[in-house]
Structure formats: structure tokens, C-alpha cells
Amino acid sequence: MSRWSALRVLTIGVAAVLGVIFIAGPPAPSPAQTPPPIVLKMGHWVGPKAVFAKAIDWYLAEAERRTEGRLRFERYWAGSLAPGPELLDALESGIADVAAVFPAYFPGKTPLHNYGQLPCIGDDVWVRNMAARDLHNTVPELQKELDKFNTMILFYASTSSYGILSSTPVRSLEDFKGKRLRVAGEQAKLVGALGAVPVGIQAPEIYTAVERRTIDGTLFSPSGVTAYGLQDVAKYYSTWDVSGPMVYLGINKTVWNRLPRDIQQILMDVQLKGMESYHRLYQIEGDGESLELMRRAKVEIYKVSREHRARTQAICHEQLLRPWAERMESRGLPGRRVLEVFQERVAAYERQNPFASR
């Protein structure tokens, strides 16, 4: 083929290619890359197998599901991010983005939030969580207290009612006298008023303390008992129905403000839906399974009489609730208002409780 013939063929080929491009149009742009998920560090002091952890994890997993993977939580259980008493500080500093906040660990930092540690105000998880949610939406001073630590509440997580696990039986108010009982927060004043000696130690230390008989027992929910294997070292449990303490799942406010609005809304939607799931996982399934484990471990479970429970309630109201409210008022905090609203909302939700017959 001559040089001119070859050039003619090449020219025709190039023209053909350009024609195809002109007809087909420019190549389609590559699809936009999916942005990486937002990853938040979540800290809790309990281990991942505890009923409490499973109930909290429901909230986290449901938020992840509803955001279709755009939000993900890195779980740090068993104090691996920070110990329980340091988790509020971890939230403030940004070490934790999300964390379980237990006001009884630092009563002086968030004194008004200790309303949730007062015993004898409701014995149902769903009721107390819903009442706490309403309370925080009604009394702005509660959020102002958390503002000092750059924190807001994502989820309300009351523990279920506390009974008494002990090395010797506690079946009446008289049986409290002289017993050294591990308690948290305002419970100390209750057991002190009943004649016992309150001892403040962290939950992971209870097993050894009971085993060595440095304490006689502890106030705990059934799920709390089995979470730490305490059914192996103490064989008497009295279902006293003392209100379990309130715990919150908090989030760093700077982190919250950076979240897309639709993700913020999802987290709030899951909060409300999660109240029922939390109750089912913690109080119905968790406590039910825990009581069965305790029975298998030969723990004697005793239902305290109505008389002794009524006497306990009277002591609570006269020696704990009113004095707490007055102490808050003396510090310029609305203790009476907080107590009044919380008790009113607990009573209202007890009438609406979907789990009352279960």
C-alpha cells in the first residue's frame, strides 16, 4: 500500500471514531463515591454480655440501621475507653463522643440529676424512662447542668427495681440493722435510715467484697446480680422493689451539632421507640432470665411483704425525698419542681403502662 493510501485509510478510521463519539456523546461520568460513615466512640463501664449492655446496644444498632450505615458506633465496653466515674469528663473532653452517664458516680457535678437516684419513685423501667424524658423537656435547668460538660442526653436508661442480694437473709426492716451493704448515690441514705451501713464501691468490685465478707451484700437488680456473677457468692435475694438508679446515654454537644439534621432526627426518633424495646430487653427478658439463673444457683428469692415495703416508702418520702428537694433549693436549684414533675409523670405513665399486665 502506498504512503498516500495508508494515510487515507488512517484518516477515514479517525473520522469514524470521532463520529461514534459524536453520536454516542461523551462518556458517562463515574458515579459519586459514597462518603465514609460518621464514626462515634461510645463508652460504657459494663461488659458487652450484660443485659444492660444489650439493651443499650439495641439503641445503637437501630440508629445504625435507620441511617443505612451513614452512622456507626465504635463500642468500648467494660470501661475500655474510660472508667464509669470518668465518662462524663470523657464526654466533655471529646475522648468519648457518646457515653453512659451515671450521676451517682459524681453527685457533686450534676446534683440536680440525682433525682434519678432517689429510691421509691416507680419500679418500672418504661415508666421511669418516659417520665424522665418529659421532665427534661419541662425543666430547663437540667440541660443547663449538662451544658457545663458540653453534653446532652440521647437516651434514658433507668435500671429495673433493686432488691437486696446478701449472704444472710434480709426479709424485714429489722434485718437491715448492722449489715454492710454496697449502694450507689441516694440509696446510701435509705439503707442508713434502715439501720444498715452503706458502703460505696464500684460494681466490678462487689464480687470480691462479698466473697471475702468485707460487705454483707448489695442492692442490685436481678440483671445486675448475674452480670457480675454475684449469684455464686451470695445466696439470698429479697425483692424489695427499690427504684433502680437512672443512667443516661449522653453525647458531646459539639459532635451532635456537627451531625446532619436528618441523622439528629433519627436519633431522637429511635429514643422514643427504644423505650419499649429497652424495657422488654432489660426488665422482661433480662430480669426474667437472671432470676432463673439465680434459682439454678440455689439463691433463695424472697418477696418482701407489703407491710415492709409500705414502711420503706414512708421512710423514703420523709427522710430522703423531701430533704433532697430542700437541699437542692438551698443551692439555688429547683429541687421541689424537679421532684414534683417527676413524681407526677411517673404516676401518669403508670396509668398508661403497656407492660403493666406482663
Q: Residue 248: which H helix or E strand, with range?
A: strand 246-252
Cα–Cα distance for residue pair 123/134, rounded to 1 Å: 17
Mean per-residue pLDDT, 127-143:
97
**Of 19 and 110, the one with more pLDDT:** 110
Banded pLDDT at 33 (limits 50, 70, 90) = confident
Going by C-alpha positions, the residue among 178, 175, 212 that lies closest to residue 192 is 178
- 251, 25, 261: which is closest to 146 by C-alpha? 251
Tell me the residue range of the domain where 272 lies. Answer: 38-160+245-290
Distance CA 92, CA 105 (A): 16
Model confidence at 15: pLDDT above 50: no
129 assigned to some structural domain: yes
Q: How high is the pLDDT of residue 89?
A: 98
Can you tell me the mean pLDDT for 230-246?
Answer: 93
pLDDT(296) > 90 = yes
Mean pLDDT across the chain: 90
Write down the pLDDT at residue 185.
80
Give pLDDT tens digits for 279-293. 999 999 999 999 999
Taking a C-beta distance cutoff of 8 angstroms, is the pair 223, 290 a contact? yes
What is the reported pLDDT for 357? 58
Question: Cα separation of 174 and 133, whole Å?
Answer: 37
| The pLDDT of residue 27 | 52
pLDDT of 110 reads 96
pLDDT digits (tens, 9 = 90+) for 204-218: 899 999 999 999 999
- Which candidate, 50, 55, 56, 90, places its Cα nearest to that of 73? 56
Which CATH number does the domain housing residue 85 bear? 3.40.190.170
Q: CA 139 → CA 103, 152, 268, 334, 337, distances in Å?
A: 17, 14, 18, 9, 8
Mean pLDDT value across residues 170-192 = 92
pLDDT at position 41 over 90: yes
pLDDT band at residue 32 under the 50/70/90 scheme: low
Query: In the chain, how many domains are there?
Result: 1
Q: Residue 81: which residues within 8 A CB-CB, separation 6 or more? A: 41, 42, 43, 87, 90, 95, 96, 99
Confidence of residue 240 (pLDDT cuts 50, 70, 90): confident
Order of strands, edge to edge, in the sheet holding 162-166?
A: 197-199, 180-182, 217-220, 162-166, 236-242, 300-303
In this predicted model, what pLDDT tens digit does every residue of 86-128 receive, in sequence order?
Answer: 999 999 999 999 999 999 899 899 999 999 999 899 989 999 9
In a domain, 43, yes or no: yes
Q: Is a pLDDT exceeding 80 seen at residue 186? A: yes
What per-residue confidence (pLDDT) applies to 143?
97
- What does the pLDDT average to over 43-54? 92
Flag whether 238 is in a domain: no
**Cell numbers found for residue 343:** 413524681
Q: Is 62 inside any structural domain?
A: yes
Establish if 5 belongs to a structural domain: no
Q: Is residue 33 part of a domain?
A: no
Asked if residue 200 has pLDDT above 50, the reply is yes
Domain membership of residue 16 (yes or no) is no
Query: Do 99 and 82 contact (CB within 8 A), yes or no?
Result: yes
Residue 119 forms part of a structural domain: yes
Close Cβ partners of 270 (under 8 Å, ≥ 6 residues apart): 59, 62, 63, 66
Q: Which of 240, 256, 273 is nearest to 156 (CA)?
A: 273
| Of 131, 112, 108, 73, the residue nearest 251 (C-alpha) | 73
